[in-house]
Amino acid sequence: MTAPRIDSRTRRAAAAGITVSLMAGAAALIGSQPASAAAGCRVDYAVGSAWSGGFGASVVVTNLGDRVNGWRLSWTFPGDERITQSWNGTHTQSGAQVTATNAAWNGDLATGGTVSFGFNATSGANPTAPSAFTLNGVLCTGSATPTTTTTTTTTTPPQDHPMVDNDFAVTREGAYGDNRFTVFRPSNPQALGRPLPVLAFGNGACAHTNNSEVTRILTIVASKGFAVVDIGSANGAANGLPSGSPIPSLLTDAITWAEREQVRSGSPLSQRLDLTRVATAGHSCGGLEALVAAQDRRVSAVVSLDSGFFADGSFGYPRSELAKLHTPALFMDGGSSDIAYANNQANYDQAGVPAVLARHPQAGHVGFITGNQATDGMTTVVQFLDMVLNGNQAARSYVLDPSGLAGRSPWTVAKKNF
């Protein structure tokens, strides 16, 4: 792959930003099917302005292949960049991975045609151009792959190892310096072979002292390669917190605690956490905490288990809170016997972000937590988080394909905006 070309304007005007025209390596044909159309694209990415803690960028996409009716441009940021606003298109971001899609009026992209969009983003460092872009799954090389009627066969590269296949030994311990939290983590924090994604979890009934009810399921999640920070002291001792009502700031405080551990000398998690891959999740009342805390820009995914905002705004949070979500969301319930069944359905229906509704009619309200569906439920949670946070394709197939979770009786699955 040829390195990105940085033009002379960048060198003359570093304070104004950077401009990059990507000329990456050619995309290979996968499988044994003849190519029926030319495929190619060029991306010009420019940072036009930068300020303390953020920047603004513009992107111009040139289609060098056949006409595209609906475009999707994907890339991975090299640092901690997070998009806060975009125009002339929509975007989703999971950790460092971004996908921008066309607006209603600019989805038709003819051969040789261009389309542009822009965004503002936060960044703790000088913004750096992504190294590669794909348009509708095709790597942008700056040239077109010629149309051919010959058959080309290549070996499909193996998929990344799915997190659900891991089975690490787990350590459960009180959070260092903060007895509001209990940590579940692989006993060897290096076992995953890369930094651990972080999950902040809220308990059912908004239990803020004792987390014994979720010890089993969070041990399962941690064994797959997550660092889980749960509300409640490790031994159930008083920690000064009231229970029974949502306190979403506890979950954002859990993320802040993880940020401190990342840099604390002597911490077993020092430099072992991936703070670009953070999720919130919770059960029942804790699910409300997770949905509100997911509005934090550090969060890239949210899971609501047997939960949902009430139509009457009970607990102080109306369904209008759903409009504040910026991450993909998983809404799970246990069927019509689940007291959260109607709320979960309504919250999925109203969510505007990419969302999955997963329903197990035998789980009821607590089956995913303490019942026979716990392992199956946590498998679904891990697969969703692996899909969103890591972009794992095997996990994506499990969650979204008809032959995946939806093909496992008695589950029913709905999806939107993916």
In CATH, what number does 163-416 get?
3.40.50.1820
pLDDT band at 22 (very low <50, low <70, confident <90, very high): very low
**213-233 per-position pLDDT tens digit:** 999 999 999 999 999 999 999
Helix crossing, 374-390 with 215-223: angle to 10°? Answer: 40
Residue-wise pLDDT tens digits, 332-370? 999 999 999 999 999 999 999 999 999 999 999 999 999
Comma-separated ranges of CATH 2.60.40.290 domains in the chain: 5-26+36-143
Confidence (pLDDT) at 145: 55
Q: What is the mean pLDDT of residues 258-274?
A: 95
What integer pLDDT is reported at residue 141 of this predicted model? 86
Average pLDDT (237-260) is 96
How many whole angstroms separate alpha carbon 279 and alpha carbon 228? 10
Give yes or no for residue 33 having a pLDDT over 60.
Answer: no
Cross-strand pairs, 212 = none
Q: What is the pLDDT of residue 55?
A: 87
**Which fold would CATH assign to domain 5-26+36-143?**
Immunoglobulin-like (2.60.40)
The predicted structure's pLDDT at residue 107? 86
For the chain, residues classed under CATH 3.40.50.1820 are 163-416
pLDDT band at 394 (very low <50, low <70, confident <90, very high): very high
Total-model pTM = 0.65
Q: pLDDT at position 384, please?
A: 97
Tokens, residue 395: 């996990």
